[in-house]
Amino acid sequence: MRQAFRSILPKLLALVLCVGLLLPVPVSAADLYFTSVNDRLLPLTSDTMPLWSGGLLYVPYNVFSREVSGVDLDISTSYSRESGTVTFYRTRQILVFDLKAGNSRDDITGEIYYAKAIIRNGKPYVPLNMVCNFFGLARSYTAIDQGYLVRIKNDSVVLSDADFIDAAGELIERRVREYNQSLNPSTDTSTSPVTPDPTPTPEPETPSESTTDKRTYLAFRCHSADQLTSILDTLDDQGVFGMFFLTPQALEESGLLVQRILGTGHSIGLLAEGTDLEYTRYLLEQGNQLLQLTAHTRTTVAYVPSAHRSALEEEGWVCWSETKVLSPSDSVGANTFASSTVRSLARYSGSVYLTMDADENTARVLYSLLRQLESNHFILTTPLETRL
């Protein structure tokens, strides 16, 4: 009898596993990613839902087309299985993702980019940042009660993100119901569930300062590009995104690294530390001109002297204001520096904004700092313009 049981046990386990795989998985809010193009919320389906891969946010390639989104972004899309290419084009602009080569290129100039398309469920997905930057589109990524909202926008957009989320609240809820129903269409909703006897709910404990999650934004001042590769390697290895403030000189010297920064999901701002307001304005304009030439994009995020901040913010600039500048010395060990930093940040409430110089010492301590921040409940968050 025991021998017979042993012989059928593997089959029973396999059967249980197969049944488990067939059961619909409940969808939590954290799993849902909604997509809107301008002021239109797209259906919540596999044809429109974004996904994360390698620390980058990807979207189905055809959400940029009018046929899928119902919104004209003045971009046409095509996918060739034979050549393994995904193409985006408008007048005088052509962006091609080469699935075989694992890169992308400006088909007009021949310039090669790090950003690549991926295949999921037989469909090409493309990095949101790269396509938006190339064609001058705005994008935003916002946490909402039902999950996350990704918006792709051009100049025709009417509603701000906050107004759109408020206006689309009921539609978002309906999209969730439709999506859950599509995952489990045979669910019989007529049967009332059995409600267990209520049990006393303990009073929630107030979390201590040391165990409260804090959103943390990390920026690097780049006067040169010498250590950028090392810093980017560490960030990408840990799946962390940063803001890179570059001087015009650094932008001019590091075209490929600028493309890597944007293509791998990081953000770029301008480092302009003029001796007076007019010179700071000049540096900002020079930086944006170089950014336009290098990556076909511009930015409104800047690191400027505090005395110039108010005037520039009135002109539309988003000026970085740090909680703390971190400056590791040559003599301090990486773990010692990281521990000291975490202790010094414990007294701050709310979001934390950290600035480091993109130099050799930062490259040396960065890995230890990221690990200790994460283990002490500092949630390293992508520093988008809408969050600064």
Same domain, 149 and 284: no
Same domain, 109 and 175: yes
Same domain, 265 and 168: no
The predicted-structure confidence for 284-304, as pLDDT tens digits, reads as follows 999 999 998 888 888 899 999
**Mean of all residue pLDDT scores within the chain:** 83
Q: Could you tell me if residue 121 is inside a domain?
A: yes
Same domain, 93 and 154: yes
Looking at per-residue pLDDT, the higher value among 294 and 153 belongs to 153
Same domain, 36 and 177: yes
Q: What secondary structure letter does DSSP report for 209?
A: G
- What value does the mean pLDDT take over residues 10-26? 38
Same domain, 360 and 239: yes
Q: For 83-150, where are the alpha helices, taking DSSP H only?
A: 128-135
The Cα-based distances of 257 to 88, 229, 238, 251 in angstroms read 23, 7, 18, 9
Maximum separation of any 2 CA atoms in the chain, in Å? 91
Q: Could you tell me if residue 55 is inside a domain?
A: yes
- Domain housing 339: 210-387
Distance CA(291)–CA(288), nearest Å, equals 5
Q: Could you tell me if residue 23 is inside a domain?
A: no
The predicted-structure confidence for 314-364, as pLDDT tens digits, reads as follows 998 999 999 999 999 988 899 999 999 999 998 888 889 999 999 999 999
Query: Is residue 3 over pLDDT 70?
Result: no
Same domain, 141 and 215: no
Q: Could you tell me if residue 17 is inside a domain?
A: no
Q: What is the pLDDT of residue 185?
A: 62
Last residue of a domain, one of 181, 201, 234: 181
Q: Could you tell me if residue 6 is inside a domain?
A: no
Looking at per-residue pLDDT, the higher value among 135 and 180 belongs to 135
Q: What is the pLDDT of residue 181?
A: 81
Q: Considering only 173-187, 201-215, 219-233, which range has the smallest mean pLDDT?
A: 201-215
The CATH number of residue 101's host domain is: 3.30.457.10
Q: What is the pLDDT of residue 10?
A: 45
Same domain, 283 and 177: no
Q: What is the pLDDT of residue 387?
A: 58
**What is the number of structural domains in the chain?**
2
Same domain, 157 and 220: no
Looking at per-residue pLDDT, the higher value among 209 and 270 belongs to 270
Same domain, 262 and 354: yes
Q: Could you tell me if residue 189 is inside a domain?
A: no
Same domain, 245 and 345: yes
Q: 275 burial class (0-12, 13-18, 19+ CB within 10 angstroms)? A: exposed
Q: Could you tell me if residue 203 is inside a domain?
A: no
Distance CA(292)–CA(305), nearest Å, equals 24
Last residue of a domain, one of 141, 163, 181: 181
Q: Could you tell me if residue 167 is inside a domain?
A: yes
The predicted-structure confidence for 177-206, as pLDDT tens digits, reads as follows 888 887 776 544 444 444 444 444 444 333
Helices 360-375 and 228-238, interaxial angle, to 10°?
10
Distance CA(323)–CA(216), nearest Å, equals 10
The CATH number of residue 367's host domain is: 3.20.20.370
Q: What is the pLDDT of residue 186?
A: 55
The predicted-structure confidence for 245-298, as pLDDT tens digits, reads as follows 999 999 998 888 888 888 777 889 999 999 999 999 999 999 999 998 888 888
Last residue of a domain, one of 128, 160, 181: 181
Q: What is the pLDDT of residue 386?
A: 52
Same domain, 292 and 331: yes
